[in-house]
Amino acid sequence: MKRYLTVAQMVECEQRSDREGLSLAELMDNAAGGLYRAVTKAAHELSIKKSCSANKVCIIAGKGNNGGDGLVCAGLLDESGFDVSVIMAQGEPATELSKAAYQKLGGGVRVISGSDENAAAEIFGADIVVDCIFGTGFKGALREDARLLFSAIEQSPAYKIACDIPSGCNADTGLCDELSVRADMTVTFHKAKVGMALEPTKSRCGEIAVYDIGIKEEYKNLPFLTFEPDERQLRQLLPSRSPGAHKGDFGRLLIIAGSENYYGAAAMAANAALRCGVGIVQLAAPKSVISALAGSMYECTFLPYEQGDEPQVLDDAIKSASAVLIGCGMGVSDHTHATLKYTIENAGCPLIIDADGLNCLALNRDILLDREGETILTPHIGELARLCGVDTNTAIQERLPLALGINEKYGAVVVSKSAGTLIVSKGSVILSGYGNTALSKGGSGDMLAGMVSAFTAQRVDGKEAAALGCYLLGRSAEILSEEMSQRGILARDILLQIPKTLSELERKAESERR
């Protein structure tokens, strides 16, 4: 399991450490020591690869404490006999710690201004470039006066090491400037940062090395823990299947989905659910949808539910279900809203709300306030924006705090889908980075909703069902991409791969039990 911290959580850890006797100056020295070890290791490996010395290191330092880490590292490299230059990318140091580090630089370190015409030549002539410009404090876009320097870093053939996080990348959101540093390795401290697990920053980090800088592990009373489960942990979440079990033991899922224009969404959700082991799937949909699907979906049972029907038609199905999924392809209408409200009020089992269910919920979120059963919301960025009453750009920038806010107020598990999905529940955030652009097309969200619902119907906890669903969907896309183009993979291809991916997971789980 990988642990991650937000920027605010990392600052809190540093401040606690400082209050309890390990000063910020000592933390900087420890960070610089970790960076130094990473640089010397990279230099050794490059020397072997090139069959010649790789001892020319260019450290590009900002004016803050990230730059201070680089300045201390420069001194250590100088003492070890490296040919070291420091480019002051933002002028003179601005923090007390970075000023102190600057004053201690030995005479063997060449110091160059970022505006110096020789700065680019220094970057191009180095074996290793170390990025210590912004660190975790960066937000927004690079300033115009910095872009020339960042362009030189981008074009340099040197091996690139980023200190804490590649400069130009947001350590909370994963967003980055188009000229942000593309590192071969990122050296980060204490714990990796949330943004490093999210695209596009994830692709900019290269190999990630986490160095201990002396912060105590027992600093755990943070508002929430963020982690990325490994495959072994995910295997343990699979619901057991007794040899003598019957279909009723594996849950009954009611899916309320589909409309005349969107019957494919209902099909994707139901088929994905069936592929994940749920015992019975009942699809409540208009007769036109049922007629289109019944000839190919033999394993599903159907309940006609027309636009003009009263929600009470669903009573028996809701009461007998062990989970209910609502919203895929229903369309936004008064009838969808009435159905959603009735289901929220009457379903005692776990309720998964997706797609148009979320769009209707956005009109009156507070209907969730009195709900007692578990609720799982699965919004993509646009749906999250509508749920929270913000524009799409704000939802992109504030995805984690918005999801945390929904969870805190309504108690719902929020599965915020993107290239790097955040599963937010009380006290924890699960990161899921599986998948690729094969999922960037219609049907993927419907499949995920069906998969999460299937595991929930089998009595898997909501956040764990979401983690399993995200893994299986993403991993299936990755496996298919080994032989097929991501452009050409369809949702129906992934549906066929899901049981194979499940089989792989089950075999490894069985092997562990032995």
Element (H, E) at 252: strand 252-256
Going by C-alpha positions, the residue among 233, 250, 228 that lies closest to residue 512 is 233
Sheet holding 252-256, edge to edge: 192-193, 2-5, 225-228, 428-432, 421-425, 413-416, 375-377, 351-353, 323-326, 252-256, 280-285, 301-304
Helix axes 462-480, 491-513, angle to 10 degrees: 110
Q: Write the secondary structure of 421-480 as one string of H (helix), E (strand) and C (coil).
A: EEEEECCEEEEECCCCHHHCCCCHHHHHHHHHHHHHHCCCCHHHHHHHHHHHHHHHHHHH
Q: Is pLDDT above 90 for 71?
A: yes
Q: In CATH, what number is assigned to the domain containing residue 504?
A: 3.40.1190.20
The rounded Cα 504 to chain-centroid distance in angstroms is 23
Beta bridge partners of 422: 416, 431
Does residue 213 share a domain with residue 261?
no
| Residue 211 covered by a domain | yes
Does residue 211 share a domain with residue 105?
yes
What range defines the domain where residue 367 resides? 231-513
Q: Is pLDDT above 70 for 221?
A: no
Instruction: Provide the residue type at 224 as one letter.
Output: F
| Residue 226 covered by a domain | no
| Residue 375 covered by a domain | yes
pLDDT of residue 18: 94
Q: What whole-number distance in Å separates Cα of residue 303 and Cα of residue 253?
A: 12
Q: Is pLDDT above 70 for 409?
A: yes
Q: Is pLDDT above 90 for 357?
A: yes
Q: Is pLDDT above 70 for 26?
A: yes
Q: In CATH, what number is assigned to the domain containing residue 106?
A: 3.40.50.10260
Half-sphere exposure of 448 (CA within 13 A, CB side): 32
Q: Decide: pTM greater than 0.75.
A: yes
pLDDT of residue 317: 98
Taking only the tens place, the pLDDT of each residue in 456-482 is 999 999 999 999 999 999 999 999 999
- In percent, how much of the chain has pLDDT > 90? 90
Does residue 350 share a domain with residue 212?
no
pLDDT of residue 52: 85
Q: What mean pLDDT do residues 28-43 have?
A: 98
> Could you say which of 172, 197, 221 is where a domain stops?
221
Instruction: Provide the residue type at 420 as one letter.
Output: G
Q: Is pLDDT above 90 for 512?
A: no
Does residue 476 share a domain with residue 328?
yes
Taking only the tens place, the pLDDT of each residue in 146-192 is 999 999 999 999 999 999 999 999 999 999 999 999 999 999 999 99
Q: Is pLDDT above 80 for 509?
A: no
Helix, strand, or coil here: 324?
strand
pLDDT of residue 323: 98
Q: What integer best gives the mean pLDDT of the chain? A: 95
Does residue 318 share a domain with residue 182?
no
Does residue 366 share a domain with residue 472?
yes
- Tally of domains in the chain: 2
What is the token pair recorded at 382?
Answer: 């646009």
Does residue 158 share a domain with residue 262?
no
Q: What whole-number distance in Å separates Cα of residue 59 and Cα of residue 61?
A: 6
> Could you say which of 169, 188, 221 is where a domain stops?
221
Q: With contact defined as beta carbons under 8 Å apart, do 108 and 77 qualify?
A: no
pLDDT, greater one: 220 or 135: 135
pLDDT of residue 276: 97
Q: Is pLDDT above 70 for 220?
A: no
String of DSSP letters for 168-228: TB-TTT--B-TTS---SEEEEESSEEGGGGSTTHHHHS-EEEEE--S--TT---SS-EEEE
| Residue 468 covered by a domain | yes
Does residue 248 share a domain with residue 173?
no
pLDDT of residue 514: 66
Q: What mean pLDDT do residues 72-90 have?
A: 96
Does residue 237 share a domain with residue 194?
no
Does residue 467 share a domain with residue 359?
yes
- The pLDDT confidence band at residue 395, using thresholds 50, 70 and 90, is very high
Q: What whole-number distance in Å separates Cα of residue 194 and Cα of residue 189?
A: 13
Q: What mean pLDDT do residues 63-76 have?
A: 97
CB neighbour list of residue 295: distance below 8 Å, 6 or more residues apart: none
Q: Is pLDDT above 90 for 205?
A: yes
Q: What whole-number distance in Å separates Cα of residue 228 and Cα of residue 417?
A: 15
pLDDT of residue 43: 96
> Could you say which of 221, 250, 272 is where a domain stops?
221
Q: What's the Rg (C-alpha) of the chain?
A: 26
- The pLDDT confidence band at residue 219, using thresholds 50, 70 and 90, is low
Taking only the tens place, the pLDDT of each residue in 417-449 is 998 999 999 989 999 999 999 999 999 999 999
| Residue 273 covered by a domain | yes
Does residue 386 share a domain with residue 462?
yes
Find the largest Cα–Cα distance for the chain. Answer: 83
Q: Is pLDDT above 90 for 222?
A: no
- In percent, how much of the chain has pLDDT > 70? 99
Element (H, E) at 160: strand 159-163
- The pLDDT confidence band at residue 297, using thresholds 50, 70 and 90, is very high
| Residue 65 covered by a domain | yes
Does residue 454 share a domain with residue 338?
yes
Taking only the tens place, the pLDDT of each residue in 304-347 is 999 999 999 999 999 999 999 999 999 999 999 999 999 999 99
